[in-house]
Amino acid sequence: MTNSTDDLQTRIDTLARAPVPPGRLQIGGRHVAGEGGEAEVISPIDGRVLTTIATAGAADVDRAVAAARAAFEDGRWSRQPPAARKAVLMRLADLIDAHALELAVLGVRDNGTEISMALKAEPGSAAATFRYYAEAIDKVTGEIAPTAAGVLGLVHREPVGVVGAIVPWNFPLMIGAWKVAPALAMGNSVVLKPAETASLTLLRLADLALEAGLPPGVLNVVTGPGHITGEALALSRDVDVLVFTGSGATGRRLLEYSARSNLKRCYLELGGKSPNIVFADAPDLAAAARAAATAIFRNAGQVCVAGSRLLVEASVQEPFLAELVAATGAMRVGNPLSLATQVGAVNSDGQLQGNLRFVRDARAEGGRVVTGGERVLADTGGYYMAPTVVADVAPAHRLFREEVFGPVLAVTPFTDEAEAVRLANATDYGLAAGVWTANLSRAHRMVRAIRAGVVHVNTYGGADITVPLGGVRQSGNGHDKSLHALDKYTDLKTAWIQL
């Protein structure tokens, strides 16, 4: 390592040794205990207790929602001029940057993402997201409708009120910012519920928001399990919009809770089984193989848009597999707090055991495990899995159809473009996809033919805050990122004025 890298690693190691104080709920700008007591936070790095977080019960959630409603109705934030809201969100972005290393290390200790990825994907992305929506605040306007003579038609954009946000454990700070930043930018109040296995950075975010000048009660954070805390938030009759990233099973429950309560709008970013399609004429098969490995194995496969199904033109399948196995073998699995690690820990023991069951089922159904397939580094006490490539996966196999959310790649051959499209679309999901080809016309045809919210061409995983992320079919509805995300957090009101 260079001196600068050595220095950074030393700072990471120092932060990693610091004790983590117990996490408490933040309601109305105050830290409070939860009626459900405390729950242990187990670090996936070594399987040890890192700290505790509060468990919010239904009464705690009601108090958080009431605090958010009071803050919204009295206008302490919702009626602030756009320039004032912008200044606060800009200060929050600056504070995230100032505490970036602290936040990244805290998050890695909590959820196991490799630190080299976490630095960019968590505080780096979150700060950029708050800046983006801060800049957008005073540029999003209403409309003057082209009405008949003698009538003035105005279309106003108004904040929806109280937003409930439930975010997952894989990238809590990044995904949390995708929900919180646009909601706050439009003048809403928010009750944020992190995953119980990755709450610490979002609790810290709430502290930084207060320091930046966000009025108390505008952002509240309630921690606890989904079946208690999340359910209470989704059933609340005083939450106007619910936004969620996570599993399809949970998304279905949230829709049920909406129907049972106040018919709140629900925007769901759900799972994916994204196809990464390699044609024989790909510009550089070795580069495509390296990208395919990264597309599935970074963050131990715990990425919503992960390229978890590799579709390879049959004429190049075996040489491509050789390149893929070489690229996979070069990826270092280990302590996610090391800058040298490229594949970190699986988030929990339960997730690890589920990943291993997928591999066992794939073998039983005729899949060929080319590399990996087992737990590694068990002596650390942590939850680590070797990056796994399974060839000969047929469309009927479970590994072809269901999301693993782990470092397991299914490989299936195809013979022509038509079959590639059929295989790509042969799941219930439609979140992301990749296409590797030197044929420009084919690339455009594939973009049109694949049913997915994001299609990458001759790359995989690249996108920033300027473009929307959302899925089709059972990958959800609505969009995070870009100006399109603002639609979730505003209502349109028409003024029809006789002149």
Summarised one tens digit per residue, pLDDT across range 123-156 is: 999 999 999 999 999 999 999 999 988 999 999 9
How is residue 263 annotated by DSSP?
-
How is residue 129 annotated by DSSP?
H
pLDDT in tens, 148-191: 889 999 999 999 999 999 999 999 999 999 999 999 999 999 99
Helix (H, G, I), strand (E, B), or coil: what is residue 226? Answer: helix
Whether pLDDT at 1 is above 70 = no
- Region of poorest pLDDT, from 175-189, 297-311, 457-471: 457-471
| Positions of E strands within 121-227 | 143-145, 151-159, 162-166, 189-193, 219-221
pLDDT in tens, 194-215: 999 999 999 999 999 999 999 9
Neighbours of 165 (CB within 10 A): 26
Average pLDDT of the chain is 97
We find that the CATH architecture of domain 275-464 is 3-Layer(aba) Sandwich (3.40)
Distance CA 34, CA 25 (A): 7
Distance of CA 203 to the CA centre of its chain: 17
- The length of the chain in residues reads 499
| pLDDT score at 484 | 97
Whether pLDDT at 462 is above 90 = no
Whether pLDDT at 381 is above 90 = yes
Whether pLDDT at 237 is above 90 = yes
Helix (H, G, I), strand (E, B), or coil: what is residue 423? Answer: helix
Domain ranges of the chain: 3-270+476-494, 275-464
- Backbone conformation region of residue 100, classed left if phi is above 0, alpha if psi is from -120 to 50, else beta: alpha
* Catalytic residue positions, numbered: 269
Which residues are CB-neighbours of 263 under 8 A, at least 6 positions away? none
Alpha-carbon dihedral sign for residues 213, 268, 119, 482? negative
| Positions of E strands within 207-366 | 219-221, 241-245, 265-269, 275-278, 309-313
> pLDDT class for 3, splitting at 50, 70, 90?
confident
Query: What is 3-270+476-494's CATH number?
Result: 3.40.605.10
